């Protein structure tokens, strides 16, 4: 019995060590200033290896090696665009990780705080933890908005066409008037057609918060979006999954 218990403890220890080893892969990937800078550049939008190397003032070969390390840690994703390889952050959680790394470093490491002062050219204002988190979230929200709207990929589904970089949506070739938040909501839904989008994810992607002060905020914007798009379309696009969120699919009105 004692031998079995000892063996069980050893297995638990091995499993815990392996789990922590996987967590440490992220830490090792961040343990290089060039890799952190590459992540910071990708937070502004997709970039090719060549553009990233030029912006970070390193060779293309070195940039590629660093990006492979970041990719192996799950922090970036890549796609082929003709002969180029284009990289992007792998998800919103990586945006948030960058914000946490910055805030922890400047608050807890004197050299990082000094570097920030020199880089900004002015004293770093002392703020409360609550205010700091609010500023980080606001900055992350602006970065997400820029990255979302800088995409040059046109989305076409049903009789709807969306051009993110132009802030333009058309139904049947006719322009649709949308407020900015409605356009961002439409884009967040349309970029992953058929996939369930939870209310929490929409709140994070469009408003930058995991939870909104009013649960009616998303409902109101969804209603306006439906009126603007579906009232002039032959399709129903936004489908409610009660208690969870929404799914974006083009279904002819005769079927919907």
Q: What is the pLDDT of residues 174-198, one digit of tens each?
A: 999 999 889 989 999 998 999 999 9
The string over 19-41, giving b where at least 16 C-beta atoms fall within 10 Å of a residue's C-beta and e elsewhere, is eeeeeeeeeebbeeebbbbbbeb
**Strand order across the 235-241 sheet:** 196-198, 245-252, 235-241
- For domain 2-89, say whether CATH 1.10.10.10 is its number: yes
| Residue that wins the pLDDT comparison between 143 and 201 | 201
The winner for highest mean pLDDT among 32-36, 101-105, 202-206 is 32-36
Do the two domains 2-89 and 156-252 of this chain adopt the same fold?
yes
Q: What mean pLDDT comes out for the span 35-41?
A: 88
Query: Would the pTM of this model clear 0.85, i.e. be above it?
Result: no
pLDDT of 52 > 50? The answer is yes
Going from N- to C-terminal start, the domains of the chain cover 2-89, 92-147, 156-252
CA–CA distances in Å: residue 71 to residues 76, 77, 78, 157 = 5, 6, 8, 31
| Mean pLDDT, the chain, whole residue set | 80
Considering the chain, what percentage of its residues have pLDDT values greater than 70?
73
pLDDT of 8 > 70? The answer is no
Q: For the domain 156-252, what is the CATH code? A: 1.10.10.10
Can you list the pairs that 96-103 forms with residues at least 24 positions away whose Cβ atoms lie under 8 Å?
96/140, 97/26, 98/39, 98/40, 98/43, 99/136, 99/137, 99/139, 99/140, 100/136, 101/30, 101/36, 102/136, 103/132, 103/133, 103/136
Return the pLDDT at 148. 56
The winner for highest mean pLDDT among 3-17, 137-151, 180-194 is 180-194
């Amino acid at each position: 019995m004692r031998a079995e218990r000892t063996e069980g403890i050893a297995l638990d220890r091995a499993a815990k060590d392996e789990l922590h080893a996987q967590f440490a892969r992220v830490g090792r990937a961040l343990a290089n200033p060039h890799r952190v800078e590459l992540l910071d550049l990708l937070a502004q939008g997709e970039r090719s290896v060549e553009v990233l190397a030029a912006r970070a003032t390193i060779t293309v070969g070195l940039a590629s090696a660093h990006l492979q390390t970041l990719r192996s840690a799950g922090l970036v994703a890549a796609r082929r665009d003709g002969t180029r390889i284009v990289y992007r952050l792998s998800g919103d959680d990586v945006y948030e990780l960058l914000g946490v790394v910055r805030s922890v470093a400047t608050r807890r490491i004197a050299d990082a705080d000094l570097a920030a002062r020199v880089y900004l050219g002015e004293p770093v204002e002392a703020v409360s933890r609550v205010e700091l988190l609010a500023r980080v979230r606001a900055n992350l929200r602006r970065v997400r908005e820029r990255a979302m709207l800088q995409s040059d990929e046109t989305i076409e589904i049903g009789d709807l066409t969306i051009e993110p970089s132009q802030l333009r949506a058309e139904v049947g070739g006719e322009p649709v008037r949308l407020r900015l938040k409605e356009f961002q909501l439409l884009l967040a839904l349309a970029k992953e057609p058929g996939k369930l989008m939870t209310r929490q994810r929409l709140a994070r992607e469009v408003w930058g918060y995991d939870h909104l002060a009013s649960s009616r905020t998303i409902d109101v914007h969804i209603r306006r979006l439906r009126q603007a798009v579906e009232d002039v379309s032959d399709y129903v696009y936004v489908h409610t999954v009660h208690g969870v969120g929404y799914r974006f699919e083009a279904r002819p009105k005769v079927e919907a």
